[in-house]
Structure 1
């Protein structure tokens, strides 16, 4: 019997490959599950529709939309998607909280959900599935919900705050990842991994009962990682013997280069236009 396929297309990412495709600081994946379609994150919203058209991704057929967290570069296109479709939207309640980042000169900027996305999410009513704990989407597709912070080397704070004065740190409890079990092993999709990529994988490991991890795709938020954090992250990743790593978005160029050097033959690109395929377990 022929195995059912799970196909993942990168619709939004910082970089692009392919005629007419555009990159922006953000992330969005189109997940094709047997009989179902899921959009994970929506980028900022400026290139989502155009890239989807070029990639023949029918956003209006999404059965579910998942927000990995409430930052603008992952939620900006939500209102546009919900104008043409009314799928269930999976997001943690804290995704709606005000979110700010402190600039190097001490000023701040707003980085939360755009007003249009916030309004669209609130108007979902019962179609908004609040992911305050591990949550099934359908079949073997799951959302982690909030990720426990347990490592002692992953600085998961960063310059993120809940107020414009930068006096109330944002713990980013809305940060979550998506995972599913394929025949090849567990596949993990990261938005930004603000909780720490190692914390996230340890939690997925716990939730799946220690099943082998086959692939990790997405943002690992290692742009400002110290040499010690980078070395210990690589050490931890090596312990899982993961066959496929596809760092993207907020991983950062130095960290991406370090991962490619540490895992030759394992790392691959994850830019707009890339497609990944797995066999459904």
Structure 2
């Protein structure tokens, strides 16, 4: 729905828009995961792909950063139905990032009252939370199996959450930015669901800003799990995607706006 890249032919055919940020949609059950940065790309792409903004039953926010939450208010503005939003309990905590020009406020651009006025039922969690269709929102992911990928921001992003979907072919993991680190996200998912294998991992893995050794270590770990499908989007970065492709050529697939995968 939203990604940094327009890398698929459908981007041209459907006039899809790319922007810095991420959003994905599960068609069954109807769960929107993140909203991108502006809302413009999300709404344009949803309509171009034939997804009515009223269709999602839930919106899950992977974490509080603006490139994942910035489209919330605009998305709510084109809906006519109430919506349930699931987010970490520190959704409204200040968040900062930094670049060569200084610090940037990258927290959410709305308040609890803004959501209430727009018929939102806000569900704030810290522990795992079950949604229809066997989907589990991870809640806080322990950082005990490997390092986190929180570089460039002002805190360790404890609110970073993933979606876990246990399928007959193995566990499907959907990430927003992957700040928790791939080892932690995967191992916690296996522990939480009791799944025995990984079917797919799709989403941001935050390889941007990592040195070559760490990117290789993380990619080698993912390869050791023998996933059928790996799609590194958004903050995985072009170099990060190349490192993953190098180690998992049979599992690697491009993301980008309009990409669709059967899980």
**The one of 194, 216, 229 aligned to 2:201:** 216
Whether 1:138 and 2:125 are equivalent positions in the alignment is no
**The one of 145, 153, 156 aligned to 1:160:** 153
- Structure 1 stretches of 5 or more lacking a match? 1-10, 162-169
**The one of 34, 38, 49 aligned to 1:41:** 34
Partner of 2:49: 55
Match runs of 1:128-277 below 5 Å: 128-152=122-146, 154-161=147-154, 170-277=155-262
Shift of 1:21: 0.7
Whether 1:108 and 2:92 are equivalent positions in the alignment is no
Whether 1:15 and 2:11 are equivalent positions in the alignment is no
Q: How many residues align?
A: 255
Structure 2-normalised TM-score? 0.91
Does the Cα contact within 8 Å between 1:72 and 1:113 map onto a contact in 2? yes
Does the Cα contact within 8 Å between 1:185 and 1:214 map onto a contact in 2? yes
**The one of 58, 65, 76 aligned to 1:71:** 65
- Structure 2 stretches of 5 or more lacking a match? none
Does the Cα contact within 8 Å between 1:89 and 1:121 map onto a contact in 2? no
Deviation string 1:111-167 (CA, Å, 9 cap, x unpaired) is 11113x665346578821112111101231111001111145x24342322xxxxxx
Please give the alpha-carbon distance, in whole angstroms, between the structure 1 residues aligned to 2:17 and 2:118: 29
**Match of 1:218, SS?**
strand
Q: How big is the alpha-carbon RMSD for the aligned residues of Structure 1 and Structure 2?
A: 1.8
Please give the alpha-carbon distance, in whole angstroms, between the structure 1 residues aligned to 2:49 and 2:119: 31
Partner of 1:86: 82
Please give the alpha-carbon distance, in whole angstroms, between the structure 1 residues aligned to 2:17 and 2:232: 18
Please give the alpha-carbon distance, in whole angstroms, between the structure 2 residues aligned to 1:180 and 1:247: 18
Whether 1:96 and 2:92 are equivalent positions in the alignment is yes
| Runs of 4 or more consecutive aligned structure 1 residues displaced over 4 Å after TM superposition | 122-126
